[in-house]
């Protein structure tokens, strides 16, 4: 009976060690997921800023194009006279 108790005790210790390893692994996974979440949020924010910048650049390009049309009209007018 004593050998059976010792074997059971050994098995319980092994199970305990395995459980601790699993807990450590889960903590590492949770940390990695949290870091991934933070990076994803940063990327989303950067994407929104990039989209806003692109819209602003588009508006400025359109305004510049309109300004350049005025110069083209003046150049065409001076060639006609």
Quick: pLDDT tens for 1-35: 888 899 999 999 999 999 999 999 999 999 999 99
Q: Mapping DSSP to helix (H, G, I), strand (E, B) and coil, where does residue 58 land? A: helix
Residue with tokens 């940390």: 31
pLDDT band per the 50, 70, 90 thresholds, residue 69: confident
pLDDT band per the 50, 70, 90 thresholds, residue 70: confident
CA distance 12 to 23: 16
Q: Mapping DSSP to helix (H, G, I), strand (E, B) and coil, where does residue 81 land? A: coil
pTM across the whole model: 0.60
């Amino acid at each position: 009976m004593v050998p059976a108790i010792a074997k059971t005790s050994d098995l319980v210790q092994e199970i305990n060690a395995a459980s601790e390893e699993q807990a450590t692994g889960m903590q590492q996974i949770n940390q990695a997921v949290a870091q991934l979440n933070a990076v994803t949020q940063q990327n989303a924010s950067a994407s929104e800023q990039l989209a806003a910048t692109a819209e602003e650049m588009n508006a400025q390009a359109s305004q510049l194009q309109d300004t350049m049309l005025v110069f083209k009209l003046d150049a065409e007018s001076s060639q006609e006279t």
